[in-house]
Amino acid sequence: MKRLLCYGIVALGLVEPALAEQTITLGASVQETGALANTGRYYRDGYEFAVQRINDRGGVKVGGEHYRLALKIFDNQSDVNLSVRQYTQLLTQDKVNFLLGPFASDYALADSSVAEKYEVPMIEGGGASDQIFSRGYKYIFGTLPVASRYFESTVEVLTKLDPAPKTVALVYADDAFDVAVAKGTRERLQNGGFKIAQDERYSSNTSDFSSLISQTKASAPDVVLVAGHETEALNFIRQSKSLDFSPKLYAFTVGVPTADFRHALGADANYAFGMTSWLPSAALKDDYFSNAEIFAGDYRKQFGYDPDYHAASAVADVETFAKAIEAAGTLDPKKVRDAIAQVDFESLYGRIQFSAAGQINLPQTVVQVQNDSLVPIYGHKGFINKPRYPMPAWDKRQ
């Protein structure tokens, strides 16, 4: 046993210097297991895919020398407290160079404090809540659109529909992200002259919406806007059907763009509106993956499922580090931080340029499920396709 241990130590000694040679390690803690594993995988796979591709293209050049990117990922088991400990470990014990973010606002909110404390930049593509960026932190950057503006484009659509909807019910989960979405949406609706028929907060991970739906049905709004998690959106639609509730339009912050969601609901997914900050279009050029369409194909080939905006956002995070480190010409966290604040480039995800608070500005494209497939409806340039509106009653559908 002792001898084995000696061999082990010798072997480690031999491997260590080889690994330490010219690598930049990015550390992250993501949800590989637990309730959020379904979305967490986009970040794990997105980070891996981007690191692999950047290395294939010669890695990162720092002051004339070539560095390879390496990735150290922990599984936080969908536990916020564990993720905070893991980020602390990444910086204090594993001594990674920079941090990539977790999925979901609650996590990013807690984990960014670790980055701030140790003054190491974190770029995260999984947390959109305004709260993350409103604390004056200098070391956190985010590549999701601002939460309070998630429904901005949807509300614009509402003002352009015929017959014009007048009353809106706002239903949202009680976590950092959804509360921020609701706050922004409420203001937008009031400014747009809509009457808010109902404004209800429900607890995250609710699986029974029957009473909430009955209440909403009783107040008979034209439109229902739901800010919640994918599983909740799914239950909301199914239970709306079983309680025979169909407003003229309903829209969801998440779920609608993912293939899983439409697959689970089948024909019941039709007419649901949603939003996405990213569609795999060839018009989105990228230095490493040529364009978003090719990226989506390659990603599917490697991982066996389609990427959505979470994955694209994750890839953009890694690319941002590559660009910023090259621009800084050093691995010094403070200088790299300043370089990140200055980046401005086109990526497969969109234009990456951070506001003073550290978040990018990306418009949401409104999408709708029509005949079982996802159709883009409205972008920053106006209508792309005709929305199906008003939604027919459940028993009037084919």
Partner 1 sequence: MALLLQVLANGILLGGLYALMALGLALVWGVLNIVNLAHGAFIMLGAYASYYLFTLLHLDPFAALPLCMLALFLFGYLLQRHVLNLIVRAPMFNTLLVTFGLDVVLTYLAQIVFSADFRVVNPGYAGANFALAGVTLPLVRALAFAVALVLTFALWLLLAHTRLGRAVRACAHNLVAARLYGVEPRTVYALTFGLGAALAGAAGDLYGVVSQFNPYIGDALTAKSFAISIIGGLENPLGVVVGGLFLGILESLTSLYVGPTYTDVASFGVLVLVLIVRPKGLLGRAT
Tokens coding 11: 């072997």
Restricting to residues 297-316, name those near partner 1 by CB under 8 A: none
Answer for which of 55, 88, 89, 215 binds partner 1 (CB under 8 A) is 215
DSSP helix/strand/coil, 284? coil
Part in contact with partner 1 (CB under 8 A); list of ranges 1-9, 131-139, 214-222, 379-387: 214-222
207 binds partner 1 (CB under 8 A): yes
Answer for which of 164, 218, 220, 282 binds partner 1 (CB under 8 A) is 218
371 binds partner 1 (CB under 8 A): no
DSSP helix/strand/coil, 328? helix
Q: What is the 3-state secondary structure (H, E, C) of 214-278?
A: HHHHHHCCCEEEEECCHHHHHHHHHHHHHCCCCCCEEEECCCCCCHHHHHHHHHHHCCCEEEECC
Restricting to residues 80-109, name those near partner 1 by CB under 8 A: none
Element (H, E) at 389: none
C-alpha dihedral (345, 350, 355, 357), degrees to nearest 10: -120
- Residue 281 near residue 256, CB atoms below 8 Å: no
Nearer to partner 1, 60 or 224 (CB): 224
Tokens coding 332: 């010094």
| Shortest distance (Å) from residue 262 CB to partner 1 | 12
198 binds partner 1 (CB under 8 A): no
Nearer to partner 1, 34 or 376 (CB): 34
Binding map of partner 1 across residues 121-160, x = CB under 8 A, - = no contact: ----------------------------------------
Nearer to partner 1, 37 or 331 (CB): 37
Q: How many residues bind partner 1 (CB under 8 A)?
A: 39
Answer for which of 76, 78, 154, 320 binds partner 1 (CB under 8 A) is 78
| Shortest distance (Å) from residue 387 CB to partner 1 | 23
DSSP helix/strand/coil, 386? coil
DSSP 124-157: ESS---GGGGSS--SSEEE-SPPGGGTTHHHHHH
Tokens coding 87: 């980020």
Show the CA angle centred on residue 396, arms to residues 392 and 398, nearest 5°.
Answer: 105
DSSP helix/strand/coil, 290? strand
Part in contact with partner 1 (CB under 8 A); list of ranges 6-14, 30-38, 108-116, 327-335: 30-38
| Shortest distance (Å) from residue 252 CB to partner 1 | 14
Show the CA angle centred on residue 111, arms to residues 344 and 292, nearest 5°.
Answer: 35
* CB neighbour list of residue 212: distance below 8 Å, 6 or more residues apart: 171, 200, 202
Answer for which of 141, 202, 250, 278 binds partner 1 (CB under 8 A) is 202
Restricting to residues 231-260, name those near partner 1 by CB under 8 A: 231, 234-235, 238-239, 241-244, 260
183 binds partner 1 (CB under 8 A): no
Restricting to residues 256-295, name those near partner 1 by CB under 8 A: 260, 264-266, 268
Tokens coding 23: 């690598």
Element (H, E) at 87: helix 80-92
Residue 283 carries which DSSP code?
Answer: T
| Shortest distance (Å) from residue 216 CB to partner 1 | 10
Answer for which of 24, 41, 185, 340 binds partner 1 (CB under 8 A) is 41
205 binds partner 1 (CB under 8 A): yes
196 binds partner 1 (CB under 8 A): no
Part in contact with partner 1 (CB under 8 A); list of ranges 147-155, 198-206, 343-351, 381-389: 198-206
The Cα 167–Cα 81 span in angstroms is 40
Q: Which residues bind partner 1 (CB under 8 A)?
A: 33-35, 37-38, 41, 78, 174, 200-203, 205-212, 214-215, 218, 230-231, 234-235, 238-239, 241-244, 260, 264-266, 268, 394
